[in-house]
Amino acid sequence: MKLRRFTVVAVAAAAVAATLNVVPASAGPTTKPADQSLRAAAARHNLYIGTAVDSTALNDAADPKYRELVKSQFSSVTAENVMKWESLEPTRGTYNWAPADELIAFAKANHQLVRGHVLVWHNQLPAWLTEGVADGSISKTELREILKNHITNVVKHFKGKIWQWDVVNEAASDPWDSPSTIHYKGFWAQNLGEGYIADAFRWARAADPKALLFYNDYNLEAFGDGGPSDKVQFIYNFVKKLKADGVPIDGIGAQGHLGTQYGNYDVFQVSDMLKRFTDLGLAAAFTEVDVRSYTATVADSNELNPRLQASAYNHSVLLQACLLNPKCLSFTLWGVSDNHSWVPTWFTDPPEGLATVYDETYQPKKAYFQLKADLFLAGPPYVQPRVPVKPNKGR
C-alpha cells in the first residue's frame, strides 16, 4: 500500500516535471545539448525564432551557406520583399505569386512557420497605384476598393499558410517629423484617412479566420514620456481603441531596428512595453531585429570589438524581454548575415553595417552566441532553481 502511494506520487511528480521541462535538482550540471541551433534553443520555450529571407540569396546556387543557415537555425521565416505589393502585383490585375509560394514551400519542407509581410504599407507600392492616385485616374473611392481587393486576394491566396500577418505597417509618424505631434502618416492615411487601419484588419479577418493579425512598427521598444511626441503611447492608444471597437487585431509587432550609437536599452524598460500591450489582450512579437553600427573606422579592432559587444547586448535585451513575456510569440531577425542586410545600402552617410548576427563570411558573431546563451540559460533544465544552503555547524 505504502509502495503504491509512493509510486503514484513519483509518477505524478515526474509528469509535472515533464510538463514544466524541469529535471530534478539532483540531476546536477548538464552537458551541452546535441542540437546547438537557435531554433532548438528557442523551441525549449515554445518561442519561434525567425529571419527575414532574401529570396534571391535563398536561390543562389553559388551561395549555399545562406540556404543552409535559414534551414538549420530558424523556425520561422518572413519574406523580406516578395510579399510586398510591388512584388505581388507589379501590373494591375496580374499577380506574381511564384517567389512567395516558393518561400512558403521551403518553409513547409523545413517545418517553419511563416510571418506574412506586408499587407498595407506606404513603401514598395506599385507605380500603377501611386501614379494613378497622383494623376487622378484612381479616385479615393476606387482606391479603397483596390485596397480591399488586394488584402482579400492576397490573404485568400495564402490562406492557411500564414501564421502571423503584418496587416498594417508603420502607420504612425515619428517625433522628428513635422509636426512633431505623432499622427497617422503616409500614402494611405493621406488618401483614405485613418479608418483604413480598422478596415484592413476586418478585410484580412474575413479572408482568413485563423491567421494572427498584427500591427507592426519601429521605435516601439520603450514608452517615452506619454506626451504628444511619444510614438509608443500613440500606438498604444490606437490599438487599445481598435480592441475596444471590436476590430480583429491579435498582436503588436515591434520591429527592433536598433543602433549601437543610440546607447543601450534596459530589459525591464522593454519588458514593460511588452506587458502594457499584452495586458490589452494582444500577443506580441519582435519582427525585424537588427542592431547596426557605424562602420567607417571599424578596420581598427579597437573600434570593432565594442560595437560587436553593444550589438550583442542589445540583441540580448530584446530577446530577454520577449522571454519574460509568455505572450511574446516570436523573435525575428531582419536578415541572416551582413552580406544580405538592408543596412549598408540604406545608411551610407555615415556608413553603417554590422547589423546581423553573422558576418559577411557567415561567421557567427558575439550577438549570435549571446542569443543562444540567453535561450539555453533561461530556466530549467540548464539553470536550476537555487538550492538553500544551511550554515555548516561542524562536528
Q: What share of the chain is helix, strand, coil (3-state, %, to 5)?
A: 45, 15, 40
Q: What span, in angstroms and rounded, lies between the C-alpha atoms of 332 and 150?
A: 25
Can you say how many angstroms the Cα of residue 122 is from the centroid of all Cα atoms in its chain?
Answer: 19
Smallest distance from ligand G3I to CB 168, Å: 12
| End-to-end Cα spacing for the chain | 39
Q: Centre a 10 Å sphere on the Cβ of residue 314 and count the other Cβ atoms it contains.
A: 25
CB 85 to ligand G3I: min, Å: 11
Measured from the CB atom, is 34 or 62 closer to ligand G3I?
A: 62
Looking at the Cβ atoms of 81 and 271, the one nearer to ligand G3I is 81
Minimum distance from CB of 295 to ligand G3I (Å)? 17
Q: In terms of CB distance, is 217 or 374 closer to ligand G3I?
A: 217
Burial class (CB in 10 A: 0-12, 13-18, 19+), 28: exposed
Q: How far is the CB of 82 from ligand G3I (least distance, A)?
A: 9
Q: Least distance from C-beta 285 to ligand G3I, angstroms?
A: 13
Which residue's beta carbon is nearest to the bound ligand G3I?
342
CB count, 10 Å around CB of 229? Answer: 18
Number of residues lying near ligand G3I (CB under 6 A)? 8
| Residue 284 vs residues 112, 120, 323, 328: alpha-carbon distances, Å | 19, 19, 11, 5
Give whichever of 45 and 115 is closer to ligand G3I, judged by the CB atom. Answer: 115
| Residue 288 is a binding residue for ligand G3I (CB under 6 A) | yes
| CA distance linking residue 288 with residue 50, whole number of Å | 9
Strand, coil or helix: 357: coil
Among 89, 170, 221, 352, which one carries the catalytic annotation? 170
Interaction mask 142-181, ligand G3I, x per CB under 6 A: ---------------------------x------------
Is residue 102 a contact partner of residue 55, using CB atoms and an 8 Å limit? yes
Catalytic residue, chosen from 80, 89, 221, 288, is 288
Lay out the site mask for ligand G3I across 6-45 (x = CB under 6 A, - = otherwise). Answer: ----------------------------------------
- Residue 145: active-site member: no
Q: Determine, following the binding rule CB under 6 A, whether residue 339 of this chain makes contact with ligand G3I.
A: no
Residues ≥6 apart with Cβ < 8 Å to 177? 185
x/- letters, 100..139, toward ligand G3I (CB under 6 A): -----------------------xx---------------
Written as one string, the DSSP assignment of 10-41 is HHHHHHHHHHTT---GGG-SPPPPS--SHHHH
Shorter beta-carbon distance to ligand G3I: residue 335 or 375: 335
170 counts as catalytic:
yes
Rule CB under 6 A: say whether 342 interacts with ligand G3I: yes
CB of 211 to ligand G3I, least distance (A): 18
Handedness of CA 283, 220, 372, 354 (dihedral sign): positive
Q: 79 pairs with which residues across the strands?
A: 53
Nearest to 258 by CA among 231, 288, 299: 288
Tell me if 316 contacts ligand G3I by CB under 6 A.
Answer: no
Among 55, 164, 255, 337, binds ligand G3I (CB under 6 A): 255
CA gap 117, 79 in Å, rounded: 6
Q: Toward ligand G3I, which CB reaches closer, 220 or 249?
A: 220
By C-beta, is 125 or 375 nearer to ligand G3I?
125
Distance between alpha carbon 98 and the CA centroid of its chain, in Å? Answer: 24
Q: At 236, which amino acid appears?
A: Y
80 binds ligand G3I (CB under 6 A): yes
Residues 6+ away with beta carbon under 8 Å from 175: 182, 229, 230, 231
Which residue number, 117 or 205, has a Cβ lying nearer to ligand G3I? Answer: 117
Which residues bind to ligand G3I, rule: CB under 6 A? 80-81, 123-124, 169, 255, 288, 342
Catalytic residues: 170, 288
